Structure formats: structure tokens, C-alpha cells
Amino acid sequence: MHRIAITLLTATALAAGCAADKAAPPAALPGPSAAAPPRAPEVYRLGKASPVPDRTQTGRYSFLVNGTEAAQADPLLVIIDVGLPSSLSTVEDAADYLLKRSGYCLMDPATREVKHLFGLPIPSVHRHLGPMTLRDALLALGGRAYELVVDDVYREVGYRVAATQAGGTL
């Protein structure tokens, strides 16, 4: 008897919920206006504010910060800890090895001073580099007499004689 009453009560509630008044159709949405100016395309750059939240909850009390890490925006800022293989003998070989997985390549030497640097043997102290940024490791290979030249458009890295050393000769 209870089952029949519950079944009738449920059927009545469902029928009452389905019977809705026919409402007036919604007002027509306004069409595109001839006076509205065309929208310029959105240009996105690294560092620009994003519409997503600045953090994501990963647990009850833990959060991760959303966004690009510094090393993802500038691969030369990645932290490395590298032991150079004994098969590498010159500074050019070492710089090529360090840049191998960075997405950057080594520029051809533009001056005789840079050609001289590239032909030098790797100092023993540089056989293990790190932990440090890739940029600092490349600067260490060049020494104080050279500055690092970075072309972000072509993703090339090279050296030039530092301004403080420009008067010196080899």
C-alpha cells in the first residue's frame, strides 16, 4: 500500500513539474550594428596579464602558482649542473655542448679574438659547471675578457671582446 502511495505521489509531482506555462518568446537579440567598429586582433606576449587565476589549488593546503617560469621564458636562465665529457677539448666544444638542449646555437666567430677563444683548451676548473644558470656557465667559459652576445630572434649565442678589454691585444 505504501508503495502505491509513493508511486502516485512521485508521478503527480513529476507531472506538475513538467506542466509549465507557455512563456512569451524571448526578445530578439540585437544584430550586429553597422556603427560598431571592427575589433583589432588580440596580441599576446609573455608577461601580459592572463584571464586565468594566478594559482591553482592542488591539495587542501597546497597551491601552485600559474604562469611561465623564468627559465621557460628565457632558456638561458635554466639552472644547470654539468660535468663536461673528456671528449670535449676546446671552449667552442664546451659552449656547443652546454647549448645542446637549450634551443640556442653558437654563432660563428666574427673576430679573430673570438676564434682564438674558441680554439683554447677547456680550463680544468670548467670541467664541472654548476649549479648555475646556463648564461653564467657560458660567461664563465668566456672569462672576463669576453661578453656574451645573445640574439633572441635567431636563438644564437656568441662572444665579443668586453669593452674593458677592447684596447688589449692578443
Residue 39 has what pLDDT?
Answer: 75
Buried b or exposed e, range 108-141, using 16+ CB within 10 angstroms: ebeeebbeebbeeebeeebeebeeebbbbbbbbb
pLDDT band of residue 66 (cuts 50, 70, 90) is confident
Mean pLDDT of 126-143: 97
Position 132 pLDDT exceeds 80 = yes
Position 122 pLDDT exceeds 80 = yes
Residue 161 has what pLDDT?
Answer: 95
**pLDDT, the chain, mean:** 83
Residues 6 or more apart whose Cβ sits within 8 Å of residue 48: none
Give per-residue pLDDT as tens, 41-50.
Answer: 766 666 655 5
Q: Among residues of the chain, what percentage have pLDDT more than 90?
A: 55
Confirm if 109 and 116 have CB atoms less than 8 A apart.
Answer: no
| C-alpha to C-alpha distance for 68 and 45, rounded to whole angstroms | 11
Residue 70 has what pLDDT?
Answer: 87
Using DSSP, state whether 53 is helix, strand or coil: coil
Residue 120 has what pLDDT?
Answer: 98
| Residue-range domain boundaries for the chain | 71-165
Q: Among residues of the chain, what percentage have pLDDT more than 70?
A: 69
Position 89 pLDDT exceeds 80 = yes
Architecture of domain 71-165: 3-Layer(bab) Sandwich (3.55)
pLDDT band of residue 75 (cuts 50, 70, 90) is very high
Q: Could you tell me which residue, 17 or 62, shows the higher pLDDT? A: 62
Q: Could you tell me which residue, 124 or 13, shows the higher pLDDT? A: 124
